[in-house]
Chains A and B, each alone.
Chain A
Amino acid sequence: GAGVSQSPSNKVTEKGKDVELRCDPISGHTALYWYRQRLGQGLEFLIYFQGNSAPDKSGLPSDRFSAERTGESVSTLTIQRTQQEDSAVYLCASSLRGHSNQPQHFGDGTRLSIL
């Protein structure tokens, strides 16, 4: 498809398990972002990739969170030893490049529930 694709759309797992979330950005978009959105709240920045530059990890809430990106394509967000407070919708977005006049294009998100 032409948009940002995220998988899975829903994930339910037990506390303490590891989870991996995937994002396929729009082809040609060099900038990729991950956000967390708790129920009824705004977006919390997690991490930003721009081309081959070192990612901006300043929003990752703890060392249980990590993300990788393969070149300018797929990204995975990994949460280790999940906790109940990790329950949220995780949104991925991409744009032509960061710091530009282009808005971000968002995927539909992964709804993560930790039991």
Chain B
Amino acid sequence: ELKVEQNPLFLSMQEGKNYTIYCNYSTTSDRLYWYRQDPGKSLESLFVLLSNGAVKQEGRLMASLDTKARLSTLHITAAVHDLSATYFCAVDDAGKSTFGDGTTLTVKP
């Protein structure tokens, strides 16, 4: 059974700081997704990572995938308040996705 672990689960950071969220998974997969969820809202796709070494960047967020280590990271650069949300990674598992428990990010002024 595929297990996906994210850490930290809760992250409070100041504006302007950098931080990394980690996503570890237990079995081989070459497809990993990052989603964002705002309070009371549904999930929005951020990144699709399809191969070992894949790196995607959008604004202050950068995601990478190391399939050998079974690890993906979501790096936040110079955080701003608008990035406050819950971030989920999801790993492809024979066509369906197994989600991590999410990292709730709060960016403070």
Contacts and interface: CB of A to CB of B under 8 A. Distances in A.
B42 A104 contact: no
Interface stretch (A19-27, A64-72, A94-102): A94-102
Interface stretch (B60-68, B71-79, B89-97): B89-97
B48 A42 contact: no
B45 A45 contact: no
A91 B42 contact: yes
Interface in B11-65: 31, 33, 35, 41-45, 48, 50
Contacts of A56: 94-96
Interface string A78-105: 0000000000000101000011011111
A107 B43 CA distance: 8
A45 B98 contact: yes
A72 B41 CA distance: 26
Nearest to B46: A103
Contacts of B90: 43, 104
Interface of A: 31, 33, 35, 41-43, 45, 48, 50, 56, 91, 93, 98-99, 101-109
6 contacts: A42-B88, A91-B43, A99-B94, A101-B31, A103-B48, A106-B42
